[in-house]
Amino acid sequence: MGAEFVQFSLTPILIGVLAAIACALPGNFLILRRQALIGDAISHVVLPGIVVAFLLTGTVAAIPMLIGAAAAAIVAVILIEAVKRLGKIEPGAAMGVVFTTLFAGGVLLLEQSDTSNVHLDVEHALMGNLESLIWFRASGWGSLLDPVALASLPPELGRMAVVCLLIVALTLVFWRWLKIATFDEGFARALGIPASALGFGLVITAAIAAVAAFDAVGSIIVIAMFICPPAAARLMTNRLGAQVWWSVGFAILSAVLGYTLAGYGPLWFGSQNAVSAAGMIAAVSGVILGLASLYGPHRSRVGVGRDDAGA
Amino acid sequence: MSGFLDALLLQAGYNAALVMIGSGLLGFAAGTSGTFMFLRKRALVSDAVAHATLPGIGIAFIVMVLLGGDGRNLVGLLIGSAATAWIGLLLIEWIARRTRLAEDAAIGAVLGVFFGIGIVLLTVIQTMSAGRQAGLESFLLGSTAGMLYSDAVVIAIGGSIAVLATWFMRRPMTLVSFDPEYAAALGYNVRRIDLTMMGLVMMVTVIGLKLVGLILIVAMLIIPAVTARFWTERSNRILWIAGCIGGVAAYVGAAISASAPAVPTGPIIVLVTAVMFVLSLIFAPVRGVSAAIIRHRRFQARVHRRQGLLSLARQEPIREPYTLRLLAREGLIRPDGVPTEAGRAQAAKVARDERRWAVAREVHQDAGLTGRYDGLTPIEDVFTRDEIKDFDRRLGTPFPVEGLA
Amino acid sequence: MGPRMTRSAVKIAAEDGQDLRAAMPPPDSPLAMRGMTVSYGEKPAVFSVDATFPARSMSAIIGPNGAGKSTLLKASLGVIPRLSGEVWVFGKPLAQARDRIAYVPQRASVDWDFPTTVIDVVQMGLYRKVGLLGRLKGLMTAQAQACLDRVGMADFAHRQIGQLSGGQQQRVFLARALAQDADLYLLDEPFAGVDAATERAIVDVLKLLKSEGKAVVAVHHDLSTVRDYFNYVFLINVRRIAEGPAQTAFTAENLNATYGGRLSATHISELTLSGGAA
């Protein structure tokens, strides 16, 4: 639990934790707004985004890929909104139409283009490769103070930290607006709060979180982290502030426990090979949600929902 | 191109023909069963179902290998995938019913978690000696290369069964997806029919895994129904239109894939369906975007024209720039805002109709008729000519118009 | 014959600024609108409505179901977009007068399962004042608590909102509007589905507001209480039917015109007579 831990486990765990928090924060509001599945849609369109970025730039450098993915996410969000409004189609179906079409386009482009010799494949996009984000130059905890070693930290860590900080800051700054526009959009508009722009901003923030997390940990974890920690948190408390804290706690727990189980769990069963950390993190978050659904103090519905009240 | 035509006419080999027929049937079944989910506003349940098949595939493979068999047996894998998909469905239902979480959160949670577990199992399989060339990843995106004869047979048979099952259950399912409360009042077990619907979706998903993969099968379930919605307002027609869209798209997509190298079947089927969707979105006669834009423009112009004329008749100034532009363009006012002769004539007619409406609403205290006094409906649309004459008689001729008379 | 008569009958519209100003609403009217049209799809829900609500009074917007009452209120607040028309709040455009408006939306329009408490909801009324990041000082919490007290909900401050009855939810919404400390209170069906005690409590608060010189405009359903609660009525059925002091405008004739035969003659005479007697 010394030098080896710092070298092989510290950075993946940190990246996993940051990614989980970055997704869970906007997830709280998405769930309350009945937009939970936007995370699902966004994480699917990341693939066409990076394929197009690769075709345009010819490189697999991280920055163009991230820009491509973010652009695809924004395009998808706009398309979903357009299909919803123009076609008068319910949001779930509109998402289904848009993200599957873009995903299909991405797969087709990938198969058509000559990407066989570069590291760009669908499985990687879906599963990520958290385990490979090791801190090679680290020799122990002392490396945290060694500038040379710090310079060789995986770049994903820095990117994820920046995005996570950005999302924390946005959540803090817009906390009141988000709360009021999520609870009572009509009242928010009457106060002069730009509720539509706020909703769009929330989805874009979610897209940024998804893209940054996808780069480090793959798509599946993104979907799970948007929904499972905030959903479990909703069942633990009846106050929004407390819910957000719970969700952050659950996100951290999922990331740490999931990574540990994936890395060390198979050893306990006598197997030498680790399993997918991203998958395991998603699975752990599912177990947490399951436990919250069974035993959470505020698991059952009390108030009358928007849909039932009108009748 | 001739290769594509050959394929389209089933001349591209026995296997290809079988796959195309199977795809067409599967597309039809997916279109119809997806329609039920769409009408029930649960389109993305199918997404969760599709992702929830992955752990089942992994488990089935491991179990078959441990039992000493071939892990790649398609029927075994499909049974496994159906099992976990079903568990996923029940979990969604349980979470949405038993906790305060909404259905979309339940869908997303099951989707993400089951997929995560599936990925974990795939990495486990990769470490097994039998798993190296398992090729289970093909279930993510469907087979890109040519299909085995046995796979094609499974798709063709499965597609036919799904179509038959849809046909058999179409009435109760239409009823439940349209008006669940009425269906319950008629004595149908809504929950069981809901689960049957989802079971049908699950069946289509499982059969489609090999062909298009678990991510893209969702498109075959959702897009045809959404596309069909543009063309009709009647639920039973949506069903068959969606089926036909799904069937044709899958058949054509499979033909393109069979005739062109390096064109994977799944994505091309989805893209063909998406093209049909976009065309419908833009050009459908009533619900299409172009029709709606034209209608809205006309409506807006009618409102502003009418409001402008009312203002002229009441000798009130018009302040809204759009109204001024519109009236000027139609030659009803001069650029400086003064009404032209035509404008005055039109305003007088508007004023007369307003007075007629006033009388009409006194004479006919009938919500159905006078409820159409919304400012836009011409009085001639609501009352007969002699009725209007009667209003005019009550007004007296020549009737006075506000202002100078 | 038509055109000639027309030419003599219709005077040319105003060319100079004089008449333009004449068409502007009086600046002391808390809420005035001209040419307000709102549509959902292809049918106007509200067509070319002019209204001028008077200051220091309680006004009711009255009309049958689907007559556009709530639509008119929401469109005048910018909660839903309008197709045409202008709105003035105390003689100013809406954007410059938002601080002077308090709004009570329909109770059914929000998700009562939202994770928040009663006092939290009331404090939402202070959000405009404290801005995005300003601290909610102790004074403001006390202010919110005082507003809860005014609607008789002081003991419920820390309840989860889902645990409230319909009447209590409505009181919380009213307390939130009170926290806005406005000059114009707009209420969308404040008495819909509430118990008798709550209705009395709400009316008392509104009457107190009126006596303090504030203006109240409410979408109202129950014709039997119009005369008791309100001193000004606005009758609407897609178009404006009539408006004026309750004594003169809440008449059998206007009700007939508004409801188009949906009310029986005896019912109407009861309504208008009993109100007059009281």
Ordered by start, the domain boundaries in chain A are 3-219
CB burial of B262-298 (b: ≥16 within 10 Å; e: otherwise) equals ebbbbbbbbbbbbebbeebbeebeebbbeebeeeeee
C114: nearest CA partner in chain A: A183
Residues of A in contact with C109 (CB under 8 A): 184, 186, 306
pLDDT at A1: 55
> Which residue, chain included where needed, has tokens 């092989």?
A8
Give the rounded distance of the alpha carbon of B88 from its chain centre: 24
A88 touches chain C (CB under 8 A): no
Interchain pair C114, A240: CB under 8 A: yes
Interface of A with C in 146-205 (CB under 8 A): 173-177, 179-180, 182-184, 186-187, 189-193
How many residue contacts between A and B have a Cβ separation below 8 Å? Answer: 217
Q: B102 to chain C, minimum CA–CA distance in Å?
A: 11
What is the DSSP-derived secondary structure letter of residue C159?
A: S
B136: phi then psi, degrees, rounded to nearest 5? -70, -20
Strands across the sheet containing C43-53: C43-53, C31-40, C84-89, C92-93
Q: Which of helix, strand or coil describes residue B161?
A: helix
- In chain B, where the domains are located: 2-262, 290-395
Query: What mean pLDDT comes out for the span B260-265?
Result: 79
A34: nearest CA partner in chain B: B104
- C-alpha C72/C-alpha C87 separation (Å) is 11
Q: Which two tokens stand for residue B89?
A: 């469905």
CB atoms within 10 A of CB B102: 24
- C-alpha A124/C-alpha A127 separation (Å) is 5
Quick one: which of C38, C36, C48 has its CA closest to C81?
A: C38
B138: nearest CA partner in chain A: A123
What average pLDDT is seen over chain B? 84
Q: Which of A31, A123, A283 sits opposite B116 (nearest CB)?
A: A283
- C-alpha B333/C-alpha B356 separation (Å) is 25
On the CB side of B322, how many CA atoms lie within 13 Å of its CA?
14
B18: phi then psi, degrees, rounded to nearest 5? -65, -45
What average pLDDT is seen over chain A? 85
Residues in CB range of B227: below 8 A, 6 or more apart: B241, B242, B245, B273, B276, B277, B280
Planar angle of CA B184, B172, B209, nearest 5 degrees: 120
Q: Which two tokens stand for residue B77?
A: 């894998």
A53: phi then psi, degrees, rounded to nearest 5? -60, -40
Long-range CB contacts for residues B394-397, cutoff 8 Å, separation at least 24 = B394/B359, B394/B363, B395/B355, B395/B356, B395/B359
Residues in CB range of C128: below 8 A, 6 or more apart: A191, A192, C98, C99, C180
- C-alpha B174/C-alpha B338 separation (Å) is 59
> Which chains border C (3 or more CB–CB pairs < 8 Å)?
A, B
Q: Which of A103-112, A257-266, B359-368 has the lowest mean pLDDT?
A: B359-368
The ipTM assigned to this model is: 0.89
- In chain C, where the domains are located: 30-108+183-277
Residues in CB range of C237: below 8 A, 6 or more apart: B371, B373, C63, C64, C67, C68, C257, C258, C259, C260
- C-alpha A2/C-alpha A302 separation (Å) is 49
Residues of B in contact with A107 (CB under 8 A): 141, 216, 264, 266-267
How are the residues of chain B apportioned to helix, strand and coil, as percentages rounded to the nearest 5?
A: 75, 0, 25
- C-alpha B343/C-alpha B311 separation (Å) is 11
CB atoms within 10 A of CB B368: 11
pLDDT cut 90: percent of chain B above it: 23
Superfamily of chain region A3-219 = ABC transporter involved in vitamin B12 uptake, BtuC (1.10.3470.10)
Residues of C in contact with A299 (CB under 8 A): none
Interchain pair C84, B322: CB under 8 A: yes
Q: Which two tokens stand for residue A303?
A: 């108030």
- C-alpha B146/C-alpha B123 separation (Å) is 26
Residue A227 binned pLDDT confidence (cut-offs 50, 70, 90): very high
Residue B375 binned pLDDT confidence (cut-offs 50, 70, 90): confident
C247 touches chain A (CB under 8 A): no
Q: B186 pLDDT exceeds 90?
A: no
> Which chains border B (3 or more CB–CB pairs < 8 Å)?
A, C
pLDDT cut 70: percent of chain A above it: 90
Interchain pair B216, A104: CB under 8 A: yes
B2-262: what fold?
Answer: ABC transporter involved in vitamin B12 uptake, BtuC (1.10.3470)
- Strand pairing report for C215-219 and C184-188: parallel
B337: nearest CA partner in chain C: C15
CB burial of A175-199 (b: ≥16 within 10 Å; e: otherwise) equals ebbbbbbbbbbbbbbbbebebeebb
Q: A149 to chain B, minimum CA–CA distance in Å?
A: 31
Interchain pair A126, B119: CB under 8 A: yes
What tens-digit pLDDT sequence spans chain C (278 residues)? 334 333 333 333 333 333 443 456 777 899 999 889 998 877 888 988 999 999 999 999 999 888 899 999 999 998 998 888 889 999 989 888 888 999 999 998 898 989 999 999 999 998 888 877 777 777 778 889 999 999 999 999 999 898 899 999 999 999 999 999 999 999 999 998 899 999 999 999 999 999 999 999 999 988 989 999 999 999 998 889 899 999 899 988 888 888 876 777 777 777 776 544 43
pLDDT at C234: 96
Residues in CB range of B379: below 8 A, 6 or more apart: B353, B356, B357, B360, B388
**Chain C residues bordering chain B (beta-carbon distance below 8 Å):** 2-3, 5-15, 19-20, 23, 34-35, 37, 39, 42-44, 47-48, 64, 83-86, 113, 237-239, 256-257, 259-262
Interchain pair A305, C98: CB under 8 A: no
CA distances from C91 to A192, A205, C262 (A): 18, 39, 36
- C-alpha B357/C-alpha B383 separation (Å) is 10
| Cβ–Cβ under 8 Å, residues C227 and B328 | no
How many residue contacts between A and C have a Cβ separation below 8 Å? Answer: 102
- C-alpha C156/C-alpha B89 separation (Å) is 40
Interchain pair A96, B118: CB under 8 A: no
- C-alpha A93/C-alpha A97 separation (Å) is 6
- The model's pLDDT over C209-257, given as tens digits with 9 standing for 90+, comes to 999 999 999 999 889 899 999 999 999 988 898 999 998 999 888 888 8
Q: Which of C108, C113, C128 sits opposite A191 (nearest CB)?
A: C128
Interchain pair A304, C74: CB under 8 A: no
Q: A36 to chain B, minimum CA–CA distance in Å?
A: 5
Interface of A with C in 199-218 (CB under 8 A): none
C30-108+183-277: what fold?
Answer: Rossmann fold (3.40.50)
CB atoms within 10 A of CB B234: 9
- The model's pLDDT over A161-209, given as tens digits with 9 standing for 90+, comes to 999 999 999 999 999 999 999 999 999 999 989 999 999 999 999 988 9
CA distances from C41 to A88, B308, B322, C34, C38 (A): 11, 21, 20, 21, 9
Q: Which of A307-311, B158-162, C25-29, C56-60 has the lowest mean pLDDT?
A: A307-311
- C-alpha B309/C-alpha B350 separation (Å) is 7
Which is higher by pLDDT, B351 or A111?
B351
- C-alpha B318/C-alpha C14 separation (Å) is 9
pLDDT at C151: 94
What is the secondary structure of B68-131 as a DSSP string?
Answer: TS-TT-HHHHHHHHHHHHHHHHHHHHHHHHHSS--HHHHHHHHHHHHHHHHHHHHHHHHHSGGG
Q: Which of helix, strand or coil describes residue A113?
A: coil
| Cβ–Cβ under 8 Å, residues A1 and A144 | no
Q: Which two tokens stand for residue B307?
A: 């409001």
Interchain pair A223, B112: CB under 8 A: yes
A44 touches chain B (CB under 8 A): yes
CB atoms within 10 A of CB B82: 22
Which is higher by pLDDT, B220 or B398?
B220
Q: Which of C78, C117, C128 sits opposite A239 (nearest CB)?
A: C117
- The model's pLDDT over B273-312, given as tens digits with 9 standing for 90+, comes to 999 999 999 998 888 888 888 988 888 888 888 888 888 8
- C-alpha A177/C-alpha A34 separation (Å) is 17
pLDDT at B366: 67
A236: phi then psi, degrees, rounded to nearest 5? -100, -20
- The model's pLDDT over A35-85, given as tens digits with 9 standing for 90+, comes to 888 888 888 888 888 888 888 887 777 788 888 888 998 899 999 989 998
Interchain pair C108, A306: CB under 8 A: yes
Q: pTM score, two decimals?
A: 0.86
Interchain pair C13, B307: CB under 8 A: no
Q: B235 pLDDT exceeds 50?
A: yes
